[in-house]
């Protein structure tokens, strides 16, 4: 069965951690991805004791920590910038380990100007291999968001994963409009299906995206992880999240009878 959660981007970006746990439990959401830079304050600057407290709060709650969401990216033409992002990822991996997060989300974010696309795909892939190996030593998955102009196109994204060529580098399906080709996501989904470890869902009322097909493809691939609402903020977030959960339930594939 798929699991339902939310990303704090942006519906819960102004909630502190206690509010996140209390409200999501009441709304029957099972997990959360904590996006960096939000009010929850779960960041690399936390002390050892503060990290232990975050871990305890999740242990005491039915709401699981589905992952940490970073904005680290590796496409820059400046090697120093790429190294800064690699080292930042490693620090974030240690935070994930200390608080009990199973994974860290990173992303490509387009192409470097004046550089051949394939060279950039290779550069991103090599960076992912390095952080993937580092994270493996801590039992943390690296989950690469299908993101960025050009890099979110699944054939290009698959190139990046091929260059990474590491068993601890996975995909975060991002439900982008560009996934859809001739009304279907099946061909693009197949490019990364074995690597999917996390799913971001957009507004489920968007009829241009084949949500029912996505849910069926995830089920067919044996995916049992989190599908996370990544939706805009609202003046009435509880009501929006209740509606989101209702649609999410409606899209669940009907189990085949024995």
- Neighbour-count burial of 256, counting CB atoms closer than 10 A to its CB (0-12 exposed, 13-18 middle, 19+ buried): exposed
Average pLDDT, integer, range 154-175 = 98
Q: Does residue 62 contact residue 25 with C-beta atoms inside 8 Å? A: yes
pLDDT tens string 82-134:
999 999 999 999 999 999 999 999 999 999 999 999 999 999 999 999 999 99
Enumerate the domain spans of the chain: 3-250
What pLDDT score was predicted for residue 91? Answer: 98
pLDDT tens string 31-72:
999 999 999 999 999 999 999 999 999 999 999 999 999 999
pTM: 0.97
Domain 3-250 class in CATH? alpha beta
Q: Does residue 221 contact residue 173 with C-beta atoms inside 8 Å? A: no
Average pLDDT, integer, range 144-162 = 98
What pLDDT score was predicted for residue 115? Answer: 95
What pLDDT score was predicted for residue 2? Answer: 95
Give rounded-to-5 percent helix, strand, coil for the chain: 45, 15, 40
* Comparison of pLDDT for 178 and 1, the residue scoring more: 178
What pLDDT score was predicted for residue 256? Answer: 58
What pLDDT score was predicted for residue 255? Answer: 65
pLDDT tens string 64-92:
999 999 999 999 999 999 999 999 999 99
For the chain, give the percent of residues with pLDDT over 90. Answer: 97
* Beta strand pairing call for 196-201 and 226-229: parallel
Average pLDDT, integer, range 172-191 = 98
Determine which helix (DSSP H) or strand (DSSP E) holds 165, and give its type and residue range: none
Distance from CA of residue 119 to its chain's centroid?
Answer: 25
pLDDT at 257 over 80: no
Which tokens go with 114? Answer: 């004046």
Distance from CA of residue 234 to its chain's centroid?
Answer: 21
């Amino acid at each position: 069965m798929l699991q339902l959660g939310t990303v704090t981007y942006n519906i819960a970006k102004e909630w502190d951690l206690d509010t996140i746990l209390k409200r999501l439990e009441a709304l029957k959401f099972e997990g959360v991805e904590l996006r960096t830079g939000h009010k929850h304050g779960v960041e690399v600057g936390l002390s050892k004791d503060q990290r232990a407290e975050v871990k305890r709060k999740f242990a005491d709650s039915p709401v699981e920590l589905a992952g940490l969401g970073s904005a680290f990216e590796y496409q820059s033409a400046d090697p120093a910038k790429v190294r800064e992002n690699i080292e930042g990822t490693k620090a974030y991996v240690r935070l994930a380990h200390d608080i009990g997060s199973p994974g860290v989300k990173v992303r490509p974010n387009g192409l470097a100007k004046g550089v051949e696309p394939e060279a950039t795909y290779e550069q991103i892939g090599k960076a992912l291999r390095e952080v993937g190996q580092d994270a493996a030593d801590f039992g943390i998955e690296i989950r690469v968001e299908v993101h960025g102009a050009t890099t979110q196109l699944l054939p290009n994204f698959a190139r990046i994963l091929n260059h990474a060529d590491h068993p601890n580098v996975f995909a975060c399906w991002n439900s982008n409009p560009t996934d859809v080709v001739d009304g279907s996501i099946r061909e693009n989904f197949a490019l990364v299906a074995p690597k999917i470890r996390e799913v971001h869902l957009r507004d489920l009322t968007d009829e241009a995206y084949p949500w029912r097909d996505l849910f069926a493809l995830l089920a067919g691939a044996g995916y049992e992880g989190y599908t996370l609402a990544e939706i805009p903020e609202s003046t009435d977030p509880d009501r929006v999240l209740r509606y989101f959960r209702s649609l999410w339930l409606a899209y669940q594939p009907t189990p085949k009878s024995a």
